[in-house]
């Protein structure tokens, strides 16, 4: 059985913590070093929520995009290629990075309310989100998958098989996956959960029959939970991830797109993805930290070293 470790850890991160609204805990620091090629005059022309800072909302339950890597010292550090790219963009613009973790649906809301500058949470540039934010150029191309457990791989491997009121299908609240579930399996019992970790736990415990999950995220979980099975690709017109940008902030959008282009050109983005995948295969925590910046004492921390034990059930705490 997959082992979970209840931790009460002190967060002594190089990231400084500060409050930023009621959605989560803000942290400033370095996830990666950008090129720093953005001029100071250009940075001065860019209006941000806090002068001199780039405030980014994220949902750290979406490895390898964003999550907490647990080091050998037991301390959680915000990781993932979205976070590395966020630091690169901030450095490129000559700004200090301020990351605000929150639940996924809060990311879209906070960008739409102009409480943060950017939303970086593996966002798909879906037209339904156009009223809340503008979207950068695509920085990463991924896909969508239908996921179940190995024992059910032959049973729930098509839209026809899951499009039944007696079949429970999971998706993350407010996500593209939730929209796909409604479109492709409208007759199923669709259950939306706040975090992907909750969906994985429900799949492994048998409370969900199948789930719609972003392909690379599902593969990341599969490393630690080998009982998971990706049974089919889910067609989706908008393939890839973009950054949500404050609506109408053209100078910010221009700078973000320039930074993305630079990260692609100098090989940084490719390295960010490789590093994030490696970290996601190790010990990690996915969810929100408590008010003191610690891993929640009843939370699950996954460990690749224990993945050899096949999991048939799992238990996670739901971050508030």
| Relative orientation angle of helices 81-93 and 250-265, to the nearest 10 degrees | 110
What is the helix (H) or strand (E) element at residue 42, kind and residue range? helix 40-44
Mean pLDDT, the chain, as a whole number?
Answer: 82
Mean pLDDT in residue range 127-144: 92
Q: How confident is the model at residue 51 (pLDDT cuts 50, 70, 90)?
A: very high
Instruction: Give 200-254 pLDDT, tens digit per residue.
Output: 999 999 999 999 998 988 998 898 899 999 999 999 876 689 999 999 999 999 9
| Structure token pair of residue 222 | 């599969």
pTM of the model: 0.70
Please report the pLDDT score of residue 233 as a whole number: 95
Range name among 20-34, 116-130, 268-282 with the lowest pLDDT average: 20-34
Task: Tell whether the model's pLDDT for residue 11 goes beyond 70.
Answer: no
Domains of the chain: 16-140+240-306 (3.40.190.10), 144-234 (3.40.190.10)
| Buried-exposed string 228-241: b where 16+ CB fall within 10 A, e elsewhere | bbbbbebebeeebb
Q: Is 59 helix (H, G, I), strand (E, B) or coil?
A: coil
Please report the pLDDT score of residue 239 as a whole number: 66
Contact of 50 with 116, CB cutoff 8 Å = no
| Structure token pair of residue 272 | 């960010």
Range name among 66-70, 163-167, 274-278 with the lowest pLDDT average: 274-278
């Amino acid at each position: 059985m997959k082992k979970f470790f209840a931790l009460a850890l002190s967060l002594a991160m190089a990231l400084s913590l500060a409050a930023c609204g009621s959605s989560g805990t803000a942290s400033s620091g370095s996830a990666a070093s950008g090129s720093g090629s953005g001029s100071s005059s250009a940075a001065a022309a860019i209006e941000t929520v806090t002068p001199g800072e780039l405030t980014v909302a994220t949902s750290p339950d979406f490895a390898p995009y964003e999550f907490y890597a647990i080091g050998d010292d037991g301390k959680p550090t915000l990781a993932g290629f979205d976070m590395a790219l966020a630091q690169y963009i901030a450095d490129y613009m000559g700004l200090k990075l301020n990351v605000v973790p929150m639940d996924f649906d809060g990311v879209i809301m906070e960008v739409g309310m102009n409480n943060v500058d950017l939303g970086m949470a593996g966002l798909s540039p879906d037209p339904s989100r156009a009223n809340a934010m503008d979207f950068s150029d695509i920085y990463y191309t991924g896909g969508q998958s239908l996921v179940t457990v190995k024992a059910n791989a032959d049973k729930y491997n098509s839209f026809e098989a899951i499009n039944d009121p007696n079949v429970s299908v999971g998706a993350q609240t407010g996500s593209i996956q939730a929209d796909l579930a409604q479109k492709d399996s409208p007759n199923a019992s669709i259950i939306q959960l706040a975090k992907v970790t909750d969906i994985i736990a429900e799949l492994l415990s048998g409370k969900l029959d199948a789930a719609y999950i972003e392909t690379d995220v599902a593969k990341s979980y599969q490393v630690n939970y080998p009982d998971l099975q990706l049974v089919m690709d889910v067609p989706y017109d908008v393939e890839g991830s973009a950054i949500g940008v404050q609506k109408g902030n053209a100078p910010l959008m221009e700078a973000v797109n320039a930074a993305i282009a630079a990260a692609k050109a100098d090989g940084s983005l490719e390295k960010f993805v490789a590093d994030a995948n490696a970290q996601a295969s190790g010990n990690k925590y996915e969810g929100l930290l408590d008010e003191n910046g610690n891993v929640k004492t009843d939370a699950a921390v996954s460990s690749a070293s224990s993945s050899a034990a096949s999991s048939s059930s799992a238990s996670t705490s739901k971050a508030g």
